[in-house]
Structure 1
Amino acid sequence: MTSEPRQNRAAPTVEQIRRAPKVLLHDHLDGGLRAGTVADLARTTGYRGLPETDAGELDRWFRAAADSGSLERYLETFSHTVGVMQSRGALVRVAAECAEDLAADGVVYAEVRYAPEQHLAAGLALHEVVEAVNDGFREGERRARERGNRIRVGALLTAMRHAARALEIARLANAYRDAGVVGFDIAGAEAGYPPTRHLDAFEYLKRENNHFTIHAGEAFGLPSIWQALQWCGADRLGHGVRIIDDIEVGDDGRVRLGRLAAYVRDKRVPLEMCPTSNLQTGAAASYADHPIGLLRRLHFRVTVNTDNRLMSGTGVSREFGHLVDAFGYTLDDLQWFTVNAMKSAFIPFDERLAMINDVIKPGFAQLKSAWLFPDAPATSGAAGSGG
């Protein structure tokens, strides 16, 4: 009997995962700061109220608060990160470091979201917030290139569900379309704030042929997903983890999809899943119990994301590492997730195709070749560089 190819049965190493070219679709700018940057900006801006001033202690505090099971403590973490992100300089710095950190983790394409309306306390206008973040991303891309790491970062402008500025933010996203902003999102508590409250924003974006994702199916369940898709017309689902509630697995292992789950799979609706974050919010009890395992087997268009890197103490490589440990995934599986994400990005089709064919597939092929033929001379260029 012919043995199975080595890359199809062996778990990738930590270094292989780090070097693999990765794509990130769901990452919050205010949830991904370096703890040292939070402490430094608090000192320079006069922000008061940090629970710790030492960077190491502050980093541990953020993670402990996110893991506490207390929604109040979890939300407090964002009051501190947003609190230090109220000036142009702070926004440029945070965005630049975001791009650098993602590139160092092997991310070649990322869509990072933030809510402009949350950064106006010190007098910035909405358009000044957008321009500062865009400038920061471009600076971070430049610094990454200097280190040999190629990355492209697009911004998603988020409106808060509990506020009444969704149409205003949607218009802002459209105004900066093709100038650093690639789409729109709504975020915040799902319960009590359905996406249908913001139908005017979604109708506007559809008339403008623009892209948007909606946080749905993280905490509130199937009605949130149904409304996001059928009433609002979302291109992607932020999290979408509760789609598992419409899937039954019998004692004999046979799987039955409800009509909503079948629709999501048939329509290839991208699911922006964030395993560690989902564990922290109680959507799954462990990585091994996370719905992503079944959804991958059923060929839903699942993508792997970080949500809030600071609060979860994570990165895309770490998320993949957890899934490798839980489900025995191989480089082939990681490539499948990555191609899914790139197919679902909010940039033009030809640019997505070029990233898949010129960056992602060659990067994974190089890693697999090195795994199969470890004594072969290395080719030039890092697998995750995106060059």
Structure 2
Amino acid sequence: MSTSDDEFFSDGIDLRDLPKVSLHDHLDGGLRPQTIIDLGREIDLDLPAADADSLADWFVDSCSAGNLPDYLKTFDLSIAVMQSREGLRRVAREFVEDLADDGVVYGEIRWAPEQHLRGGLSLDETVEAVQQGIDEAIDDAARTGHDIRVGQLVTAMRHADRGLEIAELAVRHRDRGVVGFDIAGAEAGFPPSRQRVAFDFLASEYFPVTVHAGEADGLESIRGALFDGRALRLGHGVRLAEDITIERSDDENVYVSLGRLAQWVKDREITLELSPSSNLQTGAIERWGDEIEDHPFDLLYQLGFRVTVNVDNRTMSATSLTRELALLSDAFAYDLGDLEAFQLNAAAASFLPLEEREDLAERISAGFDDVENRAR
């Protein structure tokens, strides 16, 4: 999955310059290949490629088998180099640097502390190491004139049954960089109900939750995320489109009916964290096809769902938010107003206080206006 500079331009506008919000972005899925090589040497890690370009290609090829379990296997490599305080700090710092380079002004980074204990760190120490890297990068970005904010989404692995412990960890750090909670990992067979005690605790603490659902499993997984997990956002949620029936279509219109679940998600403005390239790689959209043009993103957008654009895993998909916006623009002829709508959706869905979400929305609109005016 190669990229080229001319993908990033639309009507004379460099999409990289547009202010963006990143809601679904995995820390262990966004390592620079050279960083994996550098840190891997320190621990004598056996790598499938010796140079950064070849390693980057290996990740994309390995993640394109069309199913989530094979996709997830590649994380063994990235997680292996994130077992020390320095490794976590470096990866987090570079991650935020890459967000800033992509035009992101607010990002939420999700990752699972329980996967980073093999080097002897405690759960709290891993969160602190990641926060140190985030803070360093934010300070560096400010010195170069880029104002970026970043929060952590602490994630529990849905198969490990440590949900309550990780939920308590997230709440302990709610005033030190952590803004929300997530569950991730193999979706089918591990419904949100397995972590119900964790979600009950988080609800009692008024702590926001997003849940991976509707990627590798269908409508029941989404129902569980909403009613067992009390999710305010759906991680991917793309298979919600299975609850939408196309009754008929003509040359100008498509007539659809929504099932009760889809109608509930739409009416409650529950956010869909859609990741087009990743959804292709994992087979999440195989019911509709195997090209970006087949993704139900546009259907959901046109029907009024709160859709957002995300990368999921930058390394595994060789992508960025800029690239995802370019791919969608090419596929569905979106204009600048559409791209702004996606960012405003993300700002409204962020786990910031209301007043700060409103400030973020104003910054995005002003930034879009500025970029458009400069392109005239």
Map 1:246-261 → 2, pairs under 5 A:
246-252=243-249, 253-261=254-262
Look up the match of 2:17.
19
Map 1:296-315 → 2, pairs under 5 A:
296-315=301-320
Distance 1:268 1:353 in 2: 16
Distance 2:198 2:323 in 1: 35
Q: Are the structure 2 counterparts of residues 73 and 259 from structure 1 closer, same or farther at C-alpha, using a change threshold of 3 Å?
A: closer
Look up the match of 1:157.
154
Partner secondary structure for residue 122 of structure 1:
coil
Distance 2:167 2:110 in 1: 13
Distance 2:117 2:152 in 1: 18
Partner secondary structure for residue 299 of structure 1:
coil
Q: Are the structure 2 counterparts of residues 123 and 243 from structure 1 closer, same or farther at C-alpha, using a change threshold of 3 Å?
A: same
Structure 2 unmatched ranges of 5 or more: 1-8
Look up the match of 2:107.
110
Look up the match of 1:272.
273
Look up the match of 2:365.
361
* One of 79, 91, 95 as aligned partner of 1:82: 79
Look up the match of 1:145.
142
Partner secondary structure for residue 46 of structure 2:
coil
- Contact 2:209–2:229 (Cα < 8 Å) also in 1: no
Look up the match of 2:176.
179
Q: Which moved more, 1:118-127 or 1:227-236?
A: 227-236
Deviation at 1:14, TM superposition (A): 7.6
Map 1:149-298 → 2, pairs under 5 A:
149-252=146-249, 253-284=254-285, 285-298=290-303
Look up the match of 1:93.
90
Distance 1:233 1:76 in 2: 29
Q: Which moved more, 1:194-203 or 1:282-291?
A: 282-291
The normalised TM-score by structure 2 is: 0.93
Q: Which runs of 4+ in 1 moved over 4 A?
A: 70-73
Partner secondary structure for residue 182 of structure 1:
strand
Distance 1:268 1:75 in 2: 29
Q: Are the structure 2 counterparts of residues 13 and 83 from structure 1 closer, same or farther at C-alpha, using a change threshold of 3 Å?
A: farther
Look up the match of 1:381.
none
What are the superposed Cα offsets for residues 196-221 of structure 1, whole Å, 9 maximum, x if unpaired? 00000000000000001100011110
Deviation at 1:264, TM superposition (A): 0.3
Deviation at 1:147, TM superposition (A): 2.5
What is the Cα-based RMSD across aligned positions, in Å?
A: 1.3
Partner secondary structure for residue 296 of structure 1:
helix
- Contact 2:67–2:281 (Cα < 8 Å) also in 1: no
Answer yes or no: is 1:60 the counterpart of 2:61.
Answer: no
Look up the match of 1:7.
none
* One of 94, 113, 120 as aligned partner of 1:123: 120
Partner secondary structure for residue 254 of structure 1:
strand
- Contact 1:20–1:106 (Cα < 8 Å) also in 2: yes
What are the superposed Cα offsets for residues 351-382 of structure 1, whole Å, 9 maximum, x if unpaired? 1111111x1010011122234xx2xxxxxxxx
Distance 1:335 1:122 in 2: 43
Number of positions where the alignment pairs a residue of Structure 1 with one of Structure 2: 360
Q: Are the structure 2 counterparts of residues 38 and 207 from structure 1 closer, same or farther at C-alpha, using a change threshold of 3 Å?
A: same
Answer yes or no: is 1:345 the counterpart of 2:353.
Answer: no
* One of 32, 39, 46 as aligned partner of 1:34: 32
Partner secondary structure for residue 146 of structure 2:
coil
Distance 2:101 2:162 in 1: 35
- Contact 2:300–2:307 (Cα < 8 Å) also in 1: yes
Distance 2:304 2:358 in 1: 20
Deviation at 1:13, TM superposition (A): 4.6
Look up the match of 1:134.
131
Deviation at 1:75, TM superposition (A): 2.8
Deviation at 1:73, TM superposition (A): 4.5
Q: Are the structure 2 counterparts of residues 218 and 70 from structure 1 closer, same or farther at C-alpha, using a change threshold of 3 Å?
A: closer
Q: Which moved more, 1:147-156 or 1:268-277?
A: 147-156
Q: Which moved more, 1:87-96 or 1:13-22?
A: 13-22
Identity %: 52
Structure 1 unmatched ranges of 5 or more: 1-10, 375-387
Deviation at 1:16, TM superposition (A): 2.5
